[in-house]
Amino acid sequence: MSEKMCEKLKDNVYFPYFDVKKKHDMKGLSREECMQIFAKMNEERKPFMHRYENPFMNIPSYADKFFGMFSEEDDIVVQEKIDGSNSHIHVTKDGVTCYGNNYILNEKNHLQGFWYWCNNHFGQVPEQFYDLDIYGEWLVPHHCEYPAERYGEFYVFDVMEDGCYWTQDRVKQLAGICGFAYAPVFYEGKFQSWKHLMTFVGKTALGGKKGEGIVVKNQSRLNADTQQFYIKIVDVEFQETRHSRGKIKTVNVDRVEKKKNYMDLTASIVTEARVRKILFKLVEDGELPSDWKKLEDDDLLKCVRGAVIKDCMKEEKETVDKIGNAFGYFCGEQIIKIAKTIK
């Protein structure tokens, strides 16, 4: 694979810095010899390894707890998850600073050539975009195989300003003005269903046989303090190649649709009127403090959930029985959601 890849990339200007070339150059050496060379390289690089706290969020992989994170009112962007190295640039009037995921880059620690790319291209960033953090994927050979011309390119996917994320239409506009590539988008519009999202997993707009996955970005809840607004879904094939990172879950559409149905049924009976009525009654009876909004979610549920379930069992038993044992969980989720909206 590396020999084929090296032949494919030999004319790429950043090829000398790619790890695939280093590994290919050492193909005739024993494992012990290779380990010694890598150890020496790492030792020489240590004085130039400057860690920093990357402010970019850790985007979680799909898990069942996230199935309710989108509503049909939400505007979303479905972007290709490119299999490269997370990186970003920060341009000021004094020049450019280049970053990998965890390190500030320099000539000795250059993230497979990204530092060189930055210094060749930062002049394309106009003054209006100074002091922003421009995030993207530096495409170098990993698990997915792309056409040769795609490598050694920086694909912008996000911009942060003062700790906040830009909307994707602004990110795309910035990339265009700077002459940078923009990470491919498969869909922009209202959230339809998880089944709809799964139709994009495995696709790639960059060429090659298969893409690594997708990142779904909720534009309606961008920068929300209490809710996750980005999530990634990785194709099963690449979950298997990443066993060392732990199993990455994908979406079981049937299970998600079932949970969505339970959530909708719960919302039809655990209404704002019912929750408000019970909250105020508990306050009147001295079972809930009048400043209950200061309570942590778990403490609030300890006081309120039982009363809401009892009221629903009394007046909406047929619906509760349809949901079964899961009603307690969905009831709790709905109570917290409603409680946050009550003034």
Q: Are residues 229 and 94 in the same domain?
A: yes
Q: Where does a domain end: 224, 251, 278?
A: 251
Check if the beta carbon of residue 210 is closer than 8 Å to that of residue 204: yes
User: pTM score, two decimals?
Assistant: 0.80
Percent of the chain with pLDDT over 90: 68
If asked whether residues 169 and 191 sit together in one domain, one would say yes
List pLDDT tens digits, range 208-260.
889 999 999 999 999 987 678 999 998 877 765 444 444 555 677 778 778 88
DSSP code for 100: -
Give the per-residue pLDDT at 226. 66
Name the residue among 251, 256, 263 with its Cα closest to residue 326: 263
Q: How many CB atoms lie within 10 A of CB 66?
A: 17
103 in the same domain as 215: yes
Pinpoint the alpha helices (H) of 199-252.
236-240
Task: Clarify whether residues 261 and 182 are in a common domain.
Answer: no
Residue 53 located in a structural domain: no
How many folded domains does the chain comprise? 3
Beta strands in the chain (DSSP E): 50-51, 75-80, 85-92, 95-99, 103-104, 133-138, 154-161, 164-165, 181-182, 185-190, 213-218, 230-234
Do 68 and 192 share a domain, yes or no?
Answer: yes
The DSSP letter of residue 179 is: T
Cα–Cα distance, 286 to 280 (Å, whole number): 10
What per-residue confidence (pLDDT) applies to 245? 47
Residue 214 lies in a domain: yes
Of the given ranges (151-165, 248-262, 315-329), which has the lowest mean pLDDT? 248-262
- Of 231, 251, 271, which marks where a domain is finished? 251
Residue 241 lies in a domain: yes
User: Which pLDDT belongs to residue 72?
Assistant: 87
69, part of any domain: yes
- 237 and 259 share a domain? no
Structure tokens at 32: 């012990």
The reply to whether 55 falls in a domain is no
**Does 229 share its domain with 284?**
no
* pLDDT given for residue 42 in this prediction: 85
Do 202 and 70 lie in a common domain?
A: yes
Q: What is the pLDDT of residues 84-143, one digit of tens each?
A: 999 999 999 999 999 999 999 999 999 999 999 999 999 999 999 999 999 999 999 988
Task: Please indicate, yes or no, whether residues 83 and 132 belong to a single structural domain of this protein.
Answer: yes
Same domain membership, residue 26 and residue 90: no
pLDDT digits (tens, 9 = 90+) for 50-60: 999 999 999 98
3-state helix, strand, coil in the chain (%, to 5): 45, 15, 40
Mean local confidence (pLDDT), 264-272: 93
Residue 266 lies in a domain: yes
Read off the amino acid at residue 188: E
Look at residue 52 and tell me if it is in a domain. no
Give dist(CA 69, CA 221) in Å, integer: 10
Check residues 145 and 226 and name the one with the higher pLDDT. 145
pLDDT for position 239: 66
Whether 7 and 118 share a structural domain: no
> Where is the domain boundary, 197, 220, 251?
251
Residues 6+ apart with CB under 8 A from 172: 182, 185
**What pLDDT band is residue 178 in, cutting at 50, 70 and 90?**
very high
Radius of gyration of the chain (CA): 25
Q: How confident is the model at residue 342 (pLDDT cuts 50, 70, 90)?
A: confident
Give the pLDDT score at 250: 63
- Averaged pLDDT, 188-195: 93
Is 73 found in the same domain as 115? yes
CATH of the domain at 117: 3.30.470.30
Domain that holds residue 271: 254-339
Answer whether residue 57 is part of any domain: no
